[in-house]
């Protein structure tokens, strides 16, 4: 069977250039072998190997262009109907998109796909909203902020002039405040929005693939439902990874989820792990009154520039945390209300134990083999830059994939997956992805470290500026940390930035934009930065490539 020919009336074109834009968009639709647009007649002709969904055609067209009418399909003319919408041009059903999960990736995809005309079915087995709003980003940052306020009230660089008083911590009330905000955001940003969308259906239950085009859903209230789809997005997130330490599973250990939901600030807390979650919660619990010991299998932040781990370890130890690097637990027991840990550094005792060694993708119960979806050895679904899996019509996004586990990456991936599932063409570029760890001082990175650049065979030059050279840090009486810039040796092109600072997360996006723009060190040094801001540290660090900044006046350009 040869290609189908479809003729469309196109509205919104005002010139020949418009016709070229429309033609380019139509050629990008999956299944279209050729497209031609006649501007004077306002007609587009499409040659396609398969039937095209009308909504997918319009979804592929940029504003203000719209396909308003089919004149013919496979040579059969139709009576004109100038005011008919695209849905009237044939009786084809809407594109059916199934989404497994309801977190950041799933919600972004559901809203984008629905806006592009698809009929979306979202399947969720637990709380709507997934990890970030319920048990991850939102509650953890509330907890960390409360700990930061407690720390400032008990100790600050201004204690000689502003008296400090150790605060009384009421964890029960803090927890109630934390949960109220979580519930509020879940309803406002997830449940309420889903309820307002007529072409998004929510099914509560556990989904797994029956085959490549059907899901079997074990419903929350009993029974089973089969759901057919044209495209599917897997966005099932990840869960705390539990190491195989003898005795651990027989104890009431905490994960990050249970730690954040607890109304207890334990007198003694051992944290196993040096993940982002581990270091953030370790410091927060210490600031709220726990005596904290961190067990790190390697050094802190061992994948980053070594100076980062050294700076955070120094900050932790200054606050009274004990950091045991290159130390693992060999056995764990619960005896007389205490945790007993056997380690290479000797026996440790604690009232509570937080296990935070990382997160594993939630993919085991999906029966991915039935759909031909491949995983890597860690169980993560492998995707390309369009979020396609090894099954061309099935996509994946978020923490269940082999992409970085950040909610903003998940949301961006979900949006692009939805565009691609509905006929568009959108890739996700992670080359300038910023990352922030919410310790104090914060850790923020973007691009390549010196070591990672050199592993790629790139000759580098770098400079590190300690914060005692940044006026804002000096007036804050908090010069902990540094800004480091890594550049290409010959061109001076920016390759990466690493920062440890009280507000490193507010600095790093400027660095990300500079990398995205392909700026050089000199370009950055020549930019105007507002005086007495932490981000001015970027400019000062860039200036150190060509001058001695200690010999400049405070706001020298």
Domain boundaries, the chain: 4-89, 96-130+181-240+360-421, 248-357, 435-551
| Parallel/antiparallel/unpaired status of strands 96-100 and 231-234 | parallel
CATH number for the domain running over 248-357: 3.50.50.60
Average pLDDT over residues 220-243: 96
Q: Examine the residue annotation and report whether 15 is marked as an active-site residue of this protein.
A: yes
CB neighbour list of residue 9: distance below 8 Å, 6 or more residues apart: 42, 43, 67, 68, 69, 71, 82
Catalytic member of 65, 107, 232, 400: 65
pLDDT the model gives residue 3: 66
For residues 170 and 273, what is the distance between their CA atoms, to the nearest angstrom? 27
87 versus 215: the higher-pLDDT residue is 215
pLDDT the model gives residue 58: 81
* Contact call for residues 395 and 420 (beta carbons, < 8 A): yes
- In sequence order, the β-bridge partners of residue 333 are 340
pLDDT digits (tens, 9 = 90+) for 343-353: 989 999 999 99
467 versus 71: the higher-pLDDT residue is 467
Instruction: Taking each helix axis as running N to C, give the angle between helix 407-421 and helix 104-115, from 0 to 180 degrees, rounded to the nearest 10.
Output: 30
* CATH architecture group of domain 4-89: 2-Layer Sandwich (3.30)
pLDDT the model gives residue 458: 97
CB neighbour list of residue 78: distance below 8 Å, 6 or more residues apart: 69, 70, 71, 72
pLDDT the model gives residue 42: 81
Fold of 96-130+181-240+360-421: FAD/NAD(P)-binding domain (3.50.50)
Q: Examine the residue annotation and report whether 18 is marked as an active-site residue of this protein.
A: yes
* Contact call for residues 241 and 248 (beta carbons, < 8 A): no
H or E element at residue 148: helix 137-154
Q: Sign of the C-alpha dihedral, residues 271, 273, 277, 283? A: positive
pLDDT band of residue 27 (cuts 50, 70, 90) is confident
For residues 227 and 243, what is the distance between their CA atoms, to the nearest angstrom? 36
Distances (CA, A) of 134 to 110, 129, 365, 372: 19, 7, 22, 31
pLDDT at 92 over 70: no
Q: Examine the residue annotation and report whether 190 is marked as an active-site residue of this protein.
A: no
Catalytic member of 89, 107, 132, 387: 132
Average pLDDT over residues 71-98: 50
For residues 549 and 557, what is the distance between their CA atoms, to the nearest angstrom? 10
Token pair listed for 279:
């270091």
Residue 441 is classified by DSSP as S
For residues 113 and 128, what is the distance between their CA atoms, to the nearest angstrom? 18
pLDDT band of residue 85 (cuts 50, 70, 90) is very low
pLDDT the model gives residue 68: 63
pLDDT the model gives residue 73: 44
Q: Sign of the C-alpha dihedral, residues 406, 408, 413, 415? A: positive
Distances (CA, A) of 200 to 88, 191, 204: 21, 12, 13
0.85 exceeded by the pTM? no
18 versus 184: the higher-pLDDT residue is 184
Average pLDDT over residues 264-291: 97
Token pair 């695209």 is found at 86
pLDDT band of residue 41 (cuts 50, 70, 90) is confident
pLDDT the model gives residue 62: 80
CB contact burial 188-204 (16+ within 10 A = b; e otherwise): ebbbeebeeeeebebbe
What is the phi/psi pair of residue 495, to 5°?
-115, -35
Q: Examine the residue annotation and report whether 541 is marked as an active-site residue of this protein.
A: no
Do 96-130+181-240+360-421 and 248-357 agree at the fold level? yes
pLDDT at 2 over 70: no
Radius of gyration in angstroms for the set of CA atoms belonging to the chain, rounded to a whole number: 28
Summary mean pLDDT of the chain? 92
pLDDT at 127 over 70: yes
For residues 302 and 296, what is the distance between their CA atoms, to the nearest angstrom? 10
Q: Examine the residue annotation and report whether 132 is marked as an active-site residue of this protein.
A: yes
pLDDT the model gives residue 445: 98
Classify residue 412 by burial, with Cβ atoms within 10 Å: 0-12, 13-18, 19+. Answer: buried
pLDDT the model gives residue 427: 97
Fold of 435-551: Enolase-like; domain 1 (3.30.390)
Average pLDDT over residues 147-155: 96
For residues 221 and 335, what is the distance between their CA atoms, to the nearest angstrom? 40
Task: Report which of 92, 10, 100, 98 is spatially closest to residue 55, judged by C-alpha positions.
Answer: 92
pLDDT the model gives residue 90: 42
Q: Examine the residue annotation and report whether 253 is marked as an active-site residue of this protein.
A: no
Classify residue 314 by burial, with Cβ atoms within 10 Å: 0-12, 13-18, 19+. Answer: middle
pLDDT band of residue 82 (cuts 50, 70, 90) is very low
């Amino acid at each position: 069977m040869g290609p189908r020919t479809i003729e469309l009336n196109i509205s919104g074109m005002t010139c020949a250039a418009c016709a070229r834009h429309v033609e380019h968009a139509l050629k990008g639709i999956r299944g279209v072998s050729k497209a031609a647009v006649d501007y004077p007649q306002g007609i587009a002709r499409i040659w396609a190997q398969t039937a095209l969904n009308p909504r997918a055609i319009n979804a592929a067209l940029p504003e203000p262009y719209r396909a308003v009418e089919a004149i013919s399909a496979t040579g059969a003319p139709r009576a004109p109907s100038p005011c008919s919408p695209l849905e009237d041009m044939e009786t084809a059903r809407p594109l059916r998109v199934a989404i497994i999960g309801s977190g950041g990736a799933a919600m972004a995809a559901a809203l984008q796909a629905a806006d592009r005309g698809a009929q979306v079915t979202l399947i969720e087995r637990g709380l709507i909203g997934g990890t970030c709003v319920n048990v991850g980003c939102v509650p953890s940052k509330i907890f960390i902020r409360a700990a930061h306020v407690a720390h400032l009230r008990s100790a600050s660089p201004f204690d000689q002039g502003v008296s400090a008083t150790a605060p009384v911590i009421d964890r029960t009330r803090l927890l109630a405040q934390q949960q109220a905000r979580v519930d509020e955001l879940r309803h406002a940003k997830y449940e309420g929005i889903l309820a307002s969308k007529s072409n998004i259906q929510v099914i509560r239950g556990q989904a797994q693939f029956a085959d490549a085009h059907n899901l079997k859903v074990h419903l929350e209230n009993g029974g089973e439902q089969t759901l057919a789809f044209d495209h599917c997005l897997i966005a099932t997130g990840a869960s705390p990874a539990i190491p195989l330490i003898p005795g651990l599973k027989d104890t009431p250990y905490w994960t990050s989820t249970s730690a954040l939901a607890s109304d207890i600030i334990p007198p003694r807390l051992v944290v196993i792990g040096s993940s982002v979650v581990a270091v953030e919660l370790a410091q927060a619990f210490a600031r709220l009154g726990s005596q904290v010991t961190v067990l790190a299998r390697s050094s802190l932040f061992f994948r980053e520039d070594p100076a980062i781990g050294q700076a955070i370890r120094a900050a932790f130890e200054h606050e009274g945390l004990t950091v045991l690097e290159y130390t693992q637990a060999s056995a764990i027991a619960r005896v007389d209300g205490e945790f007993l840990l056997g380690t290479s550094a000797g026996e440790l005792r604690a009232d509570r134990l937080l296990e935070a060694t990382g997160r594993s993708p939630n993919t085991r119960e999906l029966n991915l083999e039935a759909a031909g979806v491949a995983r890597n050895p860690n169980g993560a679904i492998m995707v390309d830059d369009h979020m396609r899996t090894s099954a061309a019509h099935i996509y994946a996004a978020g923490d269940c994939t082999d992409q970085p586990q950040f909610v903003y990456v998940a949301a961006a991936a979900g949006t692009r997956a939805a565009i691609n599932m509905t006929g568009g063409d959108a890739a996700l570029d992670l080359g300038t992805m910023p990352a922030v760890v919410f310790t104090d001082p914060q850790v923020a990175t973007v691009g390549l470290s010196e070591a990672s650049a050199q592993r790629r065979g790139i000759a580098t030059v770098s400079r590190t500026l300690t914060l005692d050279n940044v006026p804002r840090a000096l007036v804050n009486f908090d010069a902990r940390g540094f800004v480091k810039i890594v550049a290409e040796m010959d061109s001076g092109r920016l390759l990466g930035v690493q920062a440890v600072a009280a507000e490193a997360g507010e600095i790093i996006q400027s660095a990300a934009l500079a990398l995205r723009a392909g700026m050089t060190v000199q370009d950055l040094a020549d930019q105007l930065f507002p005086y007495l801001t932490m981000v001015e540290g970027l400019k000062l660090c860039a200036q150190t490539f060509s001058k001695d900044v200690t010999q400049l006046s405070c706001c020298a350009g």
